[in-house]
Chains A and B, each alone.
Chain A
Amino acid sequence: MIELNAFFKSFGPKKVLRGLNLEVGTGEIVALVGNNGSGKTTLLRCLNTLYNPDSYDLAEIDGYDLSSFPEEIRSRIGYLPHNPQFYPELSGFENLRFWLELNSMSDAELRAREFLAKVGLISFADDLSGNYSRGMIQRLGFAMAISHVPTTLLLDEPFTGLDSDGIDMIGDLVTGLRDENCSILLVSHASPPYSDRTVELERGGIL
């Protein structure tokens, strides 16, 4: 569950998020739409602790304060960036296993294979990720975002580079996670049909 109240973030003199209020409930998919530069990605990067917010009245994920419990927050969040990056010298399987081991997940090897199968990459598991296409990178990024069983999922333009099968696959997995009570904040230019609610961000505030 995500709860934000009077949330501010700026870069120097440029105010990006201005007193934002947002709530994403347990088992809810919220689509966040907005023009370029409206602050969508900045919001996600604040929520996953990559950026520090300037100030807020309330900023909690599952009841944990963003600034006070960054490790706890990161263990609960699955994040798919707009342009996921991996180690090109490692295979898709090795990249995913590395991530799971960093998250102290037991049976990392088994789990890595399981999630590569879920995103349709199992037959490419041992290929170097440097040779993956844009769509395959997106699938691997999605596997990484969900493989450590997060309670909150932040997806930044998750359909970029995907074919229709890939878009359907992400849709199925996202709705499956909602049924397992995962809170999902999905940034996109268009709201997908399975989202429970759509909120529009403009100039750093919810309309």
Chain B
Amino acid sequence: MKPIQVLVKKELKVEFRSLQGLVASAMLSFMILMSLRFSLTDSTMLQNSGVLWASILLTGLGLVTHISTRESERGTMDLLKLAPITRYQLFLGRMLGSLFLLWILSTIILVMYVILFGNPFAGDLALAYLVVLIGCTGLSAVGTLAAGSATPLHGGWMITSLFAIPILLFTVIEAAVRCTDSLITGSSDFELAFMLLIMYNAVFITGGAWLSELSN
């Protein structure tokens, strides 16, 4: 457990000292939300939570890719690979580091969403926030795995998106959208969608750790 904590602590320290990834991602989220706020004229589209998750998916994946690309471009990935830790510990440490930063980003996005689009969750805002935090876990796992494989390649950030978005869209994001939509509409889908979301996260974290170990 210790090496994972050390990796998470390092990731947070490096990001908080530079704020490159968080600030850029938060600005991009703001622009995406603003663009959608003024371009979507069909009010039924605004009543659901797709806009929120589109923003989290695009900018969150960008943040995870940025963290991985930074590590590869600087050559510090070799330093991590030289440490006497297993590849799954390395994956989990990097994934959790990205996850903490994603949680900060998604909190900012949720606040902006509530300000720009009103609070469609009414009294269930805390539950919606919990869904957002859990949804970020799968995003971080798939993003870290995809970015880890793709960033050494030319145009790796684009390959990461091409690989990760289809996987996330039909699993984590779909389940998360169903969760938050059910909170808005008050339908009874929430429990099933929430279970699905947790299951997808468990599969992606376990699969990511396993594939990392295999790649050794």
Which of A's residues lie within 8 Å of B, judged by CB?
Answer: 48-50, 70-72, 74-75, 77, 79, 81, 83, 85-90, 94, 98-99, 101-104
Quick check: A70 and B83 within 8 Å, CB to CB? no
Query: Given A50-B82, A72-B84, A88-B74, 8 other A-B contacts at CB below 8 A?
Result: A49-B81, A49-B82, A70-B216, A85-B75, A86-B76, A102-B84, A104-B2, A104-B3
Q: List 19 A-B contacts (CB under 8 A).
A: A50-B81, A71-B84, A74-B83, A77-B82, A85-B74, A85-B75, A85-B78, A85-B79, A86-B76, A86-B79, A87-B14, A89-B14, A90-B14, A90-B17, A101-B2, A101-B6, A102-B6, A102-B84, A103-B83
Cβ–Cβ < 8 Å partners of A99 in chain B: 79, 83
Q: Which residues of A contact B79 (CB under 8 A)?
A: 85-86, 99
- Name the B residues within 8 Å of A90 (CB-CB): 10, 13-14, 17
Chain B's interface size range is 20 to 34
What distance in Å separates the Cβ of B1 from its nearest Cβ neighbour in chain A? Answer: 11
List chain B positions with a Cβ less than 8 A from chain A.
2-3, 6-7, 10, 13-14, 17-18, 74-76, 78-86, 216
The 3 closest A-B pairs by CB, nearest first: A75-B84, A85-B75, A89-B17
Beta-carbon contact of B83 and A89 below 8 Å: no
Q: How far is the CA of A84 from the CA of B85 in the complex (A)?
A: 20
Q: How far is the CA of A101 from the CA of B6 in the complex (A)?
A: 7
Q: Would you give the shortest CB distance from A133 to chain B, in whole angstroms?
A: 17
Contact, CB under 8 Å: B10 / A98: yes
